[in-house]
Amino acid sequence: MDEFVIDDRARRRFARRHRVGRVGLYAVAVVAALAAAGPFVWAVITTFKQDSDLYRRRNNPFVFNETPTLAHIELLFNRTGFATFAWNTLWVGVLVVAITLALSFPAAYSLARLDRPWAGWMAVAIFFVYLVPPTLLFLSMSRIVVALGLQDSTWSLVLVYPTITIPVSVWLLIGFLKTVPKDIEEQAMVDGYSRVGAMLRVVVPLLFPGIVAVVVFAFTLTASEFIYALAFISPSAEKVISTGVPTELVRGDVFFWQSLQAATVLVAVPIALVFTLFLDRFVVGFTQGAVKG
């Protein structure tokens, strides 16, 4: 009887600790979510605030103390080249992603599948290229851009950005390729496919999560890069969002805060929606590549 009572007390104590632990975990998760979402919520609210509401100290920054307005979004579209910046960012990102996949996938496949003695250190050397700060490569890159006549052209970014995206993409795809058994590919070759055919018909579908990870990574990095975009491009018609928006909405000591936040929201929402659609595959691609790489 005493043993039964002791066991019952132990179970109750364990259940109580389990509940407290779960409540604590959920509380931490809620606080973390609010901390992560806070800046975006503030940006959305600031977008629609009047100047008098934003700059009055006693006003709550997370509520509308005065009537919301659309004037700052109208300023963004009518008095800046935001639509042009967005279009330039989109097509540059798409081309960089295409170039990144076209070059990084064959490189990753050869390093992961062909079993050459130099494959290991070559993969490490490629990754180390990504660790070189862009400021150190600026002078050499600028000489290449000028030699090709691409200065003040958005095409200079299409030329330069793959040097940033390809090294990490190769490393990521190498890690993911190592999760695909060679037996599957060899069986396809036994069935009559060439190595290229087996790669395209068998390996590529299995690598789809890794490819999604590469696409999201390359496009996000391209859209957010600032140094090269600022250094190589001066005309407003050729600028991308990362440089065009701040240079046109920060005029001397005057900051158009609401329009700046409107640009942030308008860029972040589509990327967040696409990212959410492919979130599962994106996480799988990065975790698989990290574990096996």
pLDDT band of residue 5 (cuts 50, 70, 90) is low
Q: Contact 108/116 with Cβ under 8 angstroms?
A: no
214 token code pair: 């590469």
For 19, other C-beta atoms within 10 Å of its C-beta total 10
- Tell me the torsion sign for CA atoms 41, 55, 79, 152: negative
Q: How many Å apart are CA 93 and CA 87, to the nearest integer? A: 10
Helix/strand/coil for 180: coil
Angle value at C-alpha 278, between 131 and 220, nearest 5 degrees: 35
Check: CB of residue 269 under 8 Å from CB of residue 155: no
Other residues' Cβ atoms within 10 Å of the Cβ of residue 186: 13
Nearest to 222 by CA among 92, 120, 103: 92
- Helices (H) and strands (E) counted in the chain, each on its own, are 16, 2
Of 218 and 130, which is predicted with more confidence?
218
Percentage above 70 pLDDT, the chain: 90
For domain 73-292, the CATH class is: mainly alpha
pLDDT tens digits for 73-125? 999 998 888 999 999 999 999 999 999 999 998 888 888 877 777 767 777 77
- pLDDT (0 to 100) of residue 290: 44
pLDDT at 87: 94
Question: Could you read off the pLDDT of 8-29 as tens digits, one per residue?
Answer: 666 777 677 777 778 888 888 8
Question: pLDDT tens-digit profile of 124-148?
Answer: 777 777 777 777 777 888 888 888 8
Q: Are 264 and 43 in contact (CB under 8 A)?
A: yes
The C-alpha atoms of residue 176 and residue 112 are separated, in whole angstroms, by 9
> Which one, of 264, 272, 270, lies nearest residue 47 by Cα?
264
Helix (H, G, I), strand (E, B) or coil at 196: helix
Q: Has this prediction a pTM greater than 0.75? A: yes
**Rounded CA separation 187/193 (Å):** 9
- CA 222 to chain centroid, in Å, comes to 8
Phi, psi angle pair for 239, to nearest 5°? -75, 160
Q: Measure the CA–CA gap between 287 and 200, rounded to whole angstroms.
A: 23
- Write down the domain spans for the chain: 2-69, 73-292
